[in-house]
Amino acid sequence: MLSTKLINKITTFRQLHSQGGLLLNNVWDVMSVRLAEKAGATAIATTSAGVAWSMGYADGHTIPRKCVLQHAAAIVASTELPVSIDVENGLLSAGESMNDLAQDLLAAGVVGVNLEDTQDGSMLDLVSGAQRIQQLRDACKALDYPLFINARMDVLLRGGNKDADSLINRAQAYIAAGADGIFIPGLIDLALCQQVALGIDAPLNVMALSGAPSANEIFSTGVKRYSAGSFMAESAYSHVLAQMHIFQQTGYLQPAVSHLSYGEMNQMIGSLEIAD
């Protein structure tokens, strides 16, 4: 049975999509959640890459689902904001089904997922992609769990057809199967964003890339959600590597202008009130 708290979080998450302008700084651990909150986040979403790297796995369907969900539960417990997680292709082991995924998601208390349409490095055909979404939706319905399913379409990342009609056709099939939102990483062309946003019956989510249009420009096309993907995790680790090189070569510490002190970091974590 869903708690009132989880129901309220799911309602809030859906409202954030309806009103639009949702910016998501994707996180990978509890401290990055704290940083996202400090930056003004209204909801939390994970990056599968950042989560995998932080736990010693390569990104790309290699991390066990149980690890992902245990990690997600810790993130959910650390914040009052709604939390959506990236589950890649579902991360199912042999003999498991979407029923197993739905039960784990509910136990962790997440409000939504990104579910992609790839398997073993290849795009699923439209029918198979829709079936995957339908299976998760049916599993959630059996639990009376109104999970927000953000259907991730990887067609542009894999060199597929950039034709608006083709994208809209696949998106509408996923929506008919039970998707609440459509996520098309690689889609940053403003004219194409507008065509797709106007052509589908669900909120459109795209991912920021270096050199991409501003959030205001993206939102002006009808896109409702703009996410950072793995960029913040990449930036964090890049900064640490640079600092480690400096110390290894010189023995000196060179704090950045925006350096967070020990006390500030400790205070942010120390102020956490982990839910029961």
Whether 184 and 204 have beta carbons less than 8 Å apart is answered as: yes
Count the alpha carbons within 13 Å of 22 in the hemisphere toward its beta carbon. 27
Count Cβ atoms within 10 A of the Cβ of residue 191 and give its class: 0-12 exposed, 13-18 middle, 19 or more buried: exposed
What pLDDT, on a 0 to 100 scale, did the predictor assign at position 268? 87
Q: Please give the Cα distance from 144 to 138 (Å, whole number).
A: 10
List, for residues 226-264, the tens digit of each pLDDT value: 999 999 999 999 999 999 999 999 999 988 888 888 898
Cα(200)–Cα(202) distance, rounded to whole angstroms? 6
**Measured distance CA(166)–CA(187) in Å, rounded:** 13
Residue 257: per-residue pLDDT = 83
What pLDDT, on a 0 to 100 scale, did the predictor assign at position 18?
Answer: 97
Which amino acid, 131?
Q
- As a whole number, mean pLDDT of residues 195-216 equals 96
* Whether pLDDT at 275 is above 50: no
pLDDT at 271 (0 to 100) = 58
Mean pLDDT score across all residues of the chain: 94
Q: What is the pTM of this model?
A: 0.94
Question: In the chain, what are the domains?
Answer: 4-230 (3.20.20.60)
pLDDT 10s digits, 36-82: 999 999 999 999 999 999 999 999 888 999 999 999 999 999 999 99
